[in-house]
């Protein structure tokens, strides 16, 4: 017999699988290339094909993206976690390397899918977490990208956060970076302040809003919203130029199927909770058990099962 607890566990497990499928979809190189082109200024002038070829095989929070599903080749594997002695481990949602043009400037990039930006939901302010992630991405390079005091070999880092709880008029892209301010005397030439940047991409939580005027936000909202998967694939292809490869189709289908399952389970659980409350109210009015069962179109045994919760 399936209990309310087991149903809740099933929904929780499916929700976790759905969250992983969102990360896997965001880690599609076609999607990552668009995120880089339209939010990271260094990649703005490159074509999408050039950016795709510059991206290593992404790692997804412990799940390795299948390497044989693309003919673009693997540039370099980056661990999705870093470990600094005395500081513990840090696990990223999506982590990859991208090289910029002929100069082969190496960027260490992570993309985070964040459900909320509100500090009262998170228990902290998001900008503090982004600063922490950027700091760790720098400190974790010691003895890997640079040794001893060779700080000029520090690689640029970008931490991109895709947040999905904004209101209808709050779709935006915000950049966090070091800014040089001359307090007194001659301005120094500090050429490497742009090595550390955080980017927050805010998507709207309601799915029936007008399409965003920003290309990247509009594409991401179409990619991640719930709805008919065939219509989604058609829109992504015709409006945003995504090629529906076998792997891209698999990722979209997987996310949509899990989304449908969670909605279905949530509706079923909601209906049961409503009937339980109605049964409790009717029984308190001394309506016979059999009549309550008939009114609610449930079995008498179901109401008997609910009685401990009613108390």
Residue 235's H or E segment, with its range, is: helix 229-240
- Determine phi and psi for 66, rounding to 5 degrees: -60, 115
Top mean-pLDDT range of 137-151, 253-267, 283-297: 137-151
Distance between CA 308 and CA 118 in Å, rounded? 37
The reported pTM is 0.75
At 260 the pLDDT is 65
The number of residues in the chain equals: 311
Per cent of the chain over pLDDT 70 is: 78
Contact 89, 81 (CB under 8 A): yes
> What is the per-residue pLDDT across 144-178, written as a single tens digit (0 to 9) for each?
888 999 999 999 999 999 998 888 999 999 999 99
User: Given the structure tokens 């309310």, which residue do they identify?
Assistant: 4
In the DSSP assignment, the letter for residue 40 is: -
Q: What is the mean pLDDT of residues 235-263?
A: 87
Distance between CA 78 and CA 57 in Å, rounded? 8
At 11 the pLDDT is 46
At 88 the pLDDT is 57
> What is the per-residue pLDDT across 81-107, written as a single tens digit (0 to 9) for each?
565 555 556 667 888 999 987 656 788
Per cent of the chain over pLDDT 90 is: 41
Q: What is the CA radius of gyration of the chain?
A: 25
Pairing status of strand 156-166 against strand 105-114: parallel
Q: What is the mean pLDDT of residues 10-39?
A: 84
For residue 135, which of 182, 191, 178 has the smallest C-alpha distance? 178
Contact 166, 172 (CB under 8 A): yes
At 225 the pLDDT is 87
At 205 the pLDDT is 84
In the DSSP assignment, the letter for residue 147 is: -
Judge whether residue 3 has pLDDT over 70.
no
Confidence of residue 69 (pLDDT cuts 50, 70, 90): very low
Judge whether residue 300 has pLDDT over 50.
yes
114 Cβ contact partners less than 8 Å away, ≥ 6 residues apart: 126, 161, 162, 163, 164
Residue 163's H or E segment, with its range, is: strand 156-166
Distance between CA 262 and CA 14 in Å, rounded? 7
Contact 96, 57 (CB under 8 A): yes
Confidence of residue 67 (pLDDT cuts 50, 70, 90): very low
What the block records as the tokens of 99 is 């090289």
Q: What is the mean pLDDT of residues 33-57?
A: 94
Mean pLDDT score of the chain, rounded to an integer? 81
At 256 the pLDDT is 86
User: Between these two residues, 242 and 123, which has the higher pLDDT value?
Assistant: 242
User: Between these two residues, 240 and 6, which has the higher pLDDT value?
Assistant: 240
End-to-end alpha carbon distance in the chain: 21
User: Given the structure tokens 């693309």, which residue do they identify?
Assistant: 70
Distance between CA 137 and CA 144 in Å, rounded? 12
At 238 the pLDDT is 96
In the DSSP assignment, the letter for residue 206 is: -
Distance between CA 249 and CA 259 in Å, rounded? 15
């Amino acid at each position: 017999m399936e209990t309310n607890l087991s149903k809740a566990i099933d929904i929780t497990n499916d929700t976790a699988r759905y969250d992983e499928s969102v990360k896997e979809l965001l880690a599609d190189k076609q999607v990552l290339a668009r995120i880089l082109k339209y939010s990271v200024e260094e990649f703005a002038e490159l074509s999408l094909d050039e950016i795709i070829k510059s991206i290593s095989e992404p790692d997804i929070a412990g799940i390795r993206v299948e390497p044989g599903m693309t003919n673009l080749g693997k540039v370099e594997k980056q661990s999705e976690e870093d470990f600094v002695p005395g500081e513990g481990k840090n696990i990223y949602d999506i982590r990859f390397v991208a090289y910029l043009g002929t100069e082969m400037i190496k960027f260490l990039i992570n993309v985070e899918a964040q459900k909320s930006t509100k500090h009262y939901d998170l228990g902290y302010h998001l900008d503090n977490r982004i600063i922490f992630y950027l700091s760790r991405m720098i400190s974790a390079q010691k003895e890997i990208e640079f040794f001893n005091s060779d700080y000029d070999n520090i690689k640029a880092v970008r931490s991109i956060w895709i947040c999905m709880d904004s209101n209808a008029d709050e779709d935006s892209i915000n950049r966090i970076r070091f800014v040089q301010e001359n307090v007194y005397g001659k301005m120094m030439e500090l050429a490497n302040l742009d090595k550390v940047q955080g980017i927050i991409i805010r998507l709207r939580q309601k799915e029936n809003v007008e399409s965003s005027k920003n290309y990247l936000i509009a594409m991401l909202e179409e990619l991640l919203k719930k709805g008919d998967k065939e219509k989604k694939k058609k829109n992504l292809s015709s409006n945003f130029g995504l090629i529906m490869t076998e792997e891209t189709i698999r990722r979209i289908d997987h996310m949509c199927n899990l989304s449908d399952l969670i909605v279905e389970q949530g509706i079923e659980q909601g209906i049961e909770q409503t009937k339980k409350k109605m049964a409790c109210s009717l029984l308190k009015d001394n309506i016979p058990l059999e009549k309550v069962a008939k009114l609610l179109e449930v079995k008498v045994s179901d109401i008997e099962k609910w009685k401990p919760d009613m108390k």
